[in-house]
Amino acid sequence: QKHAKPVDYNAVINEAYNLFKNEQSGKNADYIPFLDRANAAMYGIVIVTKEGQVYQVGETKFEFGIESVEKVFTLCMAMEIFGDSVILEKVGASQTGLPFNSVPAIELDDKKPSNPLVNAGAMATTSLLTSHFGHSDAWEKVDAYFAKFAGRQLTILDELYKSEAANNQHNQAIAMLLKSYGYMYDDPLYACDFYTKQCSYGVTTRDLGIMAGTLANGGVNPITKERLIKEEYVPKVLAIMGTTGLYETTGEWMFKVGLPSKSGVGGGIISVVPGRYAIAVFSPPLDKAGNSVRAQKAIQYISGKLNANIYSGK
Ligand code: GLN
């Protein structure tokens, strides 16, 4: 009975914080020099309820790179503008079971980008937006939409952007490959660079909590109360998160935790408990698939304590 007694979110996140703060496994993303240099001890946990209550512990005010968590909000924006069938047709919604920057995934999936939460699909989705708005307006529009999710203006971590842009030849190759198959809707290198910039947004764990809280609240930002995505699209975004949000380990994640989630190589993970609250955790050391180790452990613990598994029916 989930509403039987008031939930002590503070107690649960503090337990999760203390249980895993000494966890030593995992390793910072080393293919982006800026991320490699991050302090591996940093750790923050936030819960944002659909009513707009914010619970936090640890380094929740530190700004880190949003990285792949941005893909969720780019998807929301594209879904709002173009509708869900365009996403299905022009990007896809199938899981790859492969790493986030897999080239074989494109070849295997009918030359398609697979889904908006892997690099190929995220760049294809971004290219839909940049061609729709035009190069002179696109950044301003995307920037304004992301600001609405966070409830504040976000800025690019310039050093991260430069560090990643100087090392993203692999993503450029994916963008070019998609272009050759007809799944890029703007200049591929422009879209790749735009995507890289989106990945370089500086966010706090609290920002991520509010952004994810908007999805937990059916598309309405729980703090500003502004609707950012149609209610009917929210389950579709969550479905893609639930099948691919942690890349090739998503199946295991859903088996253990049962929450639609999204990770980024900056160390952030968001999880959504639909209609109730969102959990955001940040800590830089990653597992082999690129998912924060402490964040996964903390969310698994919190989800267990709060009976959050979406398949439990509780
Ligand atoms: N910007 C990173 C990349 O494209 C994002 C990857 C991630 O967070 N999984 O490689």
Has residue 2 got a pLDDT over 60? no
Paired tokens of 1 = 């009975």
Paired tokens of 81 = 């503008």
Q: What is the pLDDT of residue 143?
A: 98
Neighbour tally for 78: CB within 10 Å: 23
Ligand 1 atom with least separation from CA of 164: 1
Paired tokens of 191 = 């879209």
Q: What is the pLDDT of residue 4?
A: 60
Q: Closest Cα to residue 246, out of 233, 228, 265? A: 265
> Model confidence over 114-133: pLDDT tens digits?
999 999 999 999 999 999 99
> Model confidence over 27-67: pLDDT tens digits?
999 999 999 999 999 999 999 999 999 999 999 999 999 99
Q: Is 17 annotated as a binding residue?
A: no
CA of residue 20 to ligand 1 center, whole Å: 25
> Model confidence over 79-101: pLDDT tens digits?
999 999 999 999 999 999 999 99
Chain centroid offset of residue 2 CA: 27
Q: Is 277 annotated as a binding residue?
A: no
Q: Closest Cα to residue 152, out of 216, 221, 199? A: 221
Contact yes or no for 40/266 (Cβ under 8 A):
no
Q: Distance between CA atoms of 116 and 68, rounded to whole angstroms? A: 10
Q: What is the pLDDT of residue 6?
A: 79
Q: Closest Cα to residue 148, out of 232, 199, 207? A: 207
Q: What ipTM does this complex have?
A: 0.96
> Model confidence over 242-255: pLDDT tens digits?
999 999 999 999 99
Domain 9-67+201-305 matches domain 70-199 at the CATH topology level: yes
Has residue 1 got a pLDDT over 70? no
Has residue 77 got a pLDDT over 60? yes
Has residue 232 got a pLDDT over 90? yes
The reply to whether the predicted model has a pTM over 0.95 is: yes
Q: Is 232 annotated as a binding residue?
A: no
Has residue 192 got a pLDDT over 60? yes
Domain boundaries in the chain?
Answer: 9-67+201-305, 70-199
Q: What is the pLDDT of residue 3?
A: 56
Q: Distance between CA atoms of 109 and 38, rounded to whole angstroms? A: 35
Query: At 294, phi and psi to the nearest 5?
Result: -60, -40
**What average pLDDT does the chain have?**
96
CA of residue 207 to ligand 1 center, whole Å: 19
Q: What is the pLDDT of residue 314?
A: 76
> Model confidence over 129-163: pLDDT tens digits?
999 999 999 999 999 999 999 999 999 999 999 99
CATH 3.40.50.720 fits 9-67+201-305, yes or no: no
CA of residue 24 to ligand 1 center, whole Å: 23
Q: Is 195 annotated as a binding residue?
A: yes
* CATH for the stretch 70-199: 3.40.710.10
Q: Distance between CA atoms of 159 and 114, rounded to whole angstroms? A: 30
Which residues line ligand 1 at a C-beta cut-off of 6 Å? 67-68, 100-101, 119, 164, 171, 199, 264-265, 290
Give me the percent of the chain exceeding a pLDDT of 90: 95
CA of residue 42 to ligand 1 center, whole Å: 20
Q: What is the pLDDT of residue 197?
A: 98
